[in-house]
Structure 1
Amino acid sequence: MRRARRAAVRWDMANEYVGERVRVEVGGEVMGAYLARPSAPGRYPGVVVAHQLFGVTADVRGIADRLAGQGRVAIAPEFHHRSGAGIELPVTDEGRARGFALMRELSRDGVVSDMSAAMSYLRARGEVRAVTGVLGVSLGGHLAYLAAARLAVPVTLVLYAGWLTGTEIPVSTPEPTVELTGGITGRLVYVVGEQDPVVPPADRRVIADRLVAEGVSHDLVVVPGAGHAFLAEGTAGYSPAAAEFTWALIERELADADSQRTDG
């Protein structure tokens, strides 16, 4: 486990991009998703973006857009699609309550199927040369960790994911998701705010110890002074300094994965 150091990083959106709604087939059903891609012709690495409780909201689309601006094709699937199409909840007490209810309707097998379908969708697109990563925030971080344990993901970026060490939610049953760590074959980077109440120090230690015990290539980064959801621009939890540091880390990790995976 290591603490993050502040760094002054320049972010350069080098690519113009386009965003669109797409439909992904999952076991005979249709899952909606938001896709952001560079507008210039070419072949680019693909990334899956996993949303928090509230669905594919503006801040999640913003993450996909930023990745597209960096020269990637990013897809943000609607993991709540079995409960309803196009769910996008407000970040309010009412929206949070509905989000918790929807979270309890997710199943482990359903999430893995959705992740696999999203990755297959990217691979089938002509402009995608390889799927190199999964990035998840909050609940989506948990889903990303699960995907890393069940699917071949070169690098998984897990941001402030809760409930990994217990069985409080269906997607972390029958055993806690952290117990699946031995199935991770790629690199995993876990980033959490120092003051995040959702992921207390005891949970961080359990996650770090398990990653070490299973020999997973990883980093567990604690961002000083940051709370929960610090990457969620436009929300109360957003922290520009923590977000800047984390975006630099994301870009570095994805670039490393991109360089190692150039085949389709």
Structure 2
Amino acid sequence: MIIQHHHADLPTPTGLMRTTVYRPHAHGQFPAIIFYSEIFQQTAPIARSAAILASHGFVVLVPEVFHELNPIGTVLAYDDEGKDKGNNDKWAKPLESHDSDTQALIDFVQTHDYCTGSVGAMGVCIGGHLAYRAALNPAIKAAFCLYPTDIHSDTLPAQKGNNSFERMADIQGEIHFIWGKQDPHVPQQGRDKIYQQAVSTGINYQWQEVNAQHAFMRDEGERYDAALAITMYQQAVALFNRVL
């Protein structure tokens, strides 16, 4: 489908959150996907991923995940300076603020006439964690989490008893985990820990481990695996078409 995009500045308890909305250039109502970026926010690869999803008939929302910590429109570079700034932002923002951001996005979806009100979540890297975290909200019917960081290590700030790993049992929708076997950010021990938690909680999940490095979806840089990326887009679209 031909798509269009525009910005929406959404009110949240921690300030305005710039969100880019990608959606079909057609009349009608469409299900929504919240697409959570890496620590670098909405880079060109993230924008292209959102456009790919939207062209399959979805309203795709890309929020600035660290809107409290940066001027509106901030995009960090894929270099050491950008990585350091993004990681510092990641460690500075509590998960509770991400939760309220997700609720603001859900509220947006449920009040616009081009949305059906049905919503899922998808993300890469820290965004994979945020898609997983979004699935704790009962309004999220499905989540597609690509190499989500910091779930196994409990390194993101949160109130006691509110870390993402321990709350896995609260997930009511369907969730897909995709991991790169050569990803040093989530090593085998960490993946095993998450897998055992998924089994013991009895959530509705699917699990894949592929021969790839971290950020294999990013179509810039030497770690990009185009063949795997195409497969993942197809699987994500199939999931959201079925569930949403």
Same fold? TM cut 0.5: yes
User: In the alignment, is residue 202 of structure 1 matched against residue 165 of structure 2?
Assistant: no
Query: How far apart are the structure 2 equivalents of 1:175 and 1:123?
Result: 26
Please report the TM-score for the alignment, with normalisation by the length of structure 1: 0.88
1:211-226 maps to which residues of 2 (within 5 A)? 211-223=198-210, 225-226=211-212
Please report the TM-score for the alignment, with normalisation by the length of structure 2: 0.95
Q: Report the CA distance shift for 1:113/1:176 in structure 2 as closer, same or farther (over 3 A).
A: closer
Q: Any idea what the Cα deviations from partners look like across 1:151-170, whole Å, max 9, x if unmatched? A: 43110111101110223231
Aligned to 1:9: none
SS of residue paired to 1:29: coil
Letter in 2 for 1:71: G
Q: Any idea what the Cα deviations from partners look like across 1:17-48, whole Å, max 9, x if unmatched? A: 01122111113731101110000111111110
Contact 1:167 1:175 in 2 (8 A): no
Contact 1:187 1:217 in 2 (8 A): yes
Aligned to 1:51: 37
Contact 2:19 2:62 in 1 (8 A): yes
User: In the alignment, is residue 35 of structure 1 matched against residue 21 of structure 2?
Assistant: yes
User: In the alignment, is residue 134 of structure 1 matched against residue 99 of structure 2?
Assistant: no
1:71-90 maps to which residues of 2 (within 5 A)? 71-84=57-70, 85-90=72-77
Aligned to 2:87: 100
Aligned to 1:183: 170
SS of residue paired to 2:140: coil
Aligned to 2:215: 229
Q: How far did 1:83 drift?
A: 0.6
User: In the alignment, is residue 111 of structure 1 matched against residue 78 of structure 2?
Assistant: no
Contact 2:153 2:190 in 1 (8 A): no
Q: How far did 1:115 drift?
A: 0.7
Letter in 2 for 1:158: C
1:137-152 maps to which residues of 2 (within 5 A)? 137-152=124-139
Aligned to 1:6: none
Query: How far apart are the structure 2 equivalents of 1:137 and 1:188?
Result: 14
Query: How far apart are the structure 2 equivalents of 1:179 and 1:144?
Result: 16
The alignment-based identity, stated in percent, is: 26
- For these two proteins, the number of residue pairs brought into alignment is 243
Letter in 1 for 2:53: L
Structure with the larger RCO, 1 or 2 (CA within 8 Å, 6+ apart): 1
Q: What runs of 5+ residues in structure 2 fail to find an aligned partner?
A: none
Structure 1 window deviating more from structure 2 (238-247 vs 228-237): it is 228-237
Query: How far apart are the structure 1 equivalents of 2:69 and 2:218?
Result: 24
Letter in 1 for 2:164: T
